[in-house]
Amino acid sequence: MKPLFSLRGRANATLIVGLALLALQIVLIVFAPVIAPHSPIDADPSNILKPPSWHYWFGTDVSGMDILSRVIYATRINLLISVTAVAIAFAIGVPIGLFIGYYRNLLSTLVMRVFDFIQSFPVFVIGMALVSVMGQEIWNVAIVLAVLFIPMFARLIRAEVLSLRDRPFISAAVCSGATDTAIMFRHILPNAITPAIVQISISIGMAILLTAGLSFVGAGVRMPTPEWGLMVANGAQQMILGVWWAALFPGLAIIVSVLTFAILGDAVKRLSDPVTRGKS
């Protein structure tokens, strides 16, 4: 007799919740001009620090800008930076990990030492340094985050390749005359890609936090661009005066967005786990 809630059933339920939260954010991204009640960048000095009301649901900030509208538009900015960064890191890191895992030579060792050097620094510190050098633009932040995430994907793929390259089915492919390229991309990569796919969702959540953190300390995007971390930084300065709404609502947006991708990552991990599939 199967349990009332199987492991696969719980994974599916988690996936549905994650997809629902993701769908909400996609709606905000696509229909932001329709949903947002006010301009996200137009300041109104006559409405500075207004508390939440029927006219300003989330209140206004120190510049008189509508917080709800800025939170909605910031979904575009934060997810654009995060998804772009992770997509670039995945596209570059996976092939690199495949090659350095399959070929054991001086170049592979050199690449690993470069990754060791990058990962030896605190992620936030090196992120601030690179953004400061490149400039505080949206695409520069995305590129910096991609550089920081490339070693993560490369190491994941390399670890899987190292465990697969000496398997009997690879030896059989070699004996059948398959080229190195065919072995890597037809036989090894399909069996090694799952951990990297699971890592995509988790990395997007990390990228959202890093983007918000860089903006919070003044090293990310600049005003008046609507961005959650930047809004929290501006609102935090007013909290001592009792203006709680300026930092609360963008902070909640960060929590919901990161939670969304954490849930999706957990669901994908559960569904790709052979134990979960076996107990469904």
Summarised one tens digit per residue, pLDDT across range 72-108 is: 999 999 999 999 999 999 999 999 999 999 888 888 8
Which amino acid is residue 196, in one-letter code? A
Residue 155 reports pLDDT greater than 90:
yes
Does residue 269 lie within any of the structural domains?
Answer: no
Structural domain containing residue 68: 40-262
Domain CATH for 124: 1.10.3720.10
Instruction: Judge whether 18 lies within some domain.
Output: no
Q: Look at residue 32 and tell me if it is in a domain.
A: no
- Close Cβ partners of 130 (under 8 Å, ≥ 6 residues apart): 144, 147
Q: For 51-73, write each residue's pLDDT tens digit.
A: 998 988 998 988 889 999 999 99
Domain-located, residue 24: no
Name which of 12, 79, 15 is nearest 227 in CA terms: 79
Taking the C-alpha atoms of residue 184 and residue 161, their distance in angstroms, rounded to an integer, is 9
What count of other Cβ atoms lies within 10 Å of the Cβ of residue 30? 11
Location of structure tokens 């994907």: 153
Residue 7 lies in a domain: no
The total domain count for the chain is 1
Assigned domain for 246 exists: yes
The confidence band for 232, taking pLDDT boundaries of 50, 70 and 90, is: very high
Residue 5 is assigned to a structural domain of this protein: no
Residue 273, in any domain of the structure: no
**pLDDT of 110 above 80:** yes
